Amino acid sequence: MLIINCPYCGPRDQSEFSNGGEAHVKRPDGSKEIGDREWGEYVFIRANPKGLFYERWVHTHGCRKWFNCVRDTSTDEILVTYKLDEKKPNLNNFKSVVKTPSGEPEVGSGNFTVEK
């Protein structure tokens, strides 16, 4: 469980929020010709990285506003939240904060208790 800092209401319990998947996925403009591939990627394809991830959340049981955040999917830490019309932060800014669970390989289960 996390504390999420709603850009409108301030820090609130995770149970008030809903996750909306990857952020900054642009909906193709319907008034123009859209190729099958372009549309298919918009509808079906989302990134699922281990590590830093731009993500959408909505304050469902609060102000009902959508906003974006940067979450580290390996630690669940939410590093920053920002409004939809704000510029997305550069992920390089967070390099020093980010770490995979200590001793854990970059990809894997993280089931180690003793440093190898």
Contact set with other proteins (CB under 8 A): 1-3, 13, 20, 27-31, 34, 36, 39-40, 42-44, 56, 58, 60, 64-66, 75-77, 84-85, 99, 101-103, 110-115
Rounded CA separation 101/39 (Å): 37
CB–CB of 60/67 below 8 Å? no
Nearest approach in angstroms of CB 27 to other proteins is: 5
- Kindly tell me the sign of the dihedral angle through the C-alpha atoms of 26, 15, 74, 88: positive
Joined together, the tokens standing for residue 66 give 């959508």
Nearest approach in angstroms of CB 3 to other proteins is: 6
Nearest approach in angstroms of CB 88 to other proteins is: 14
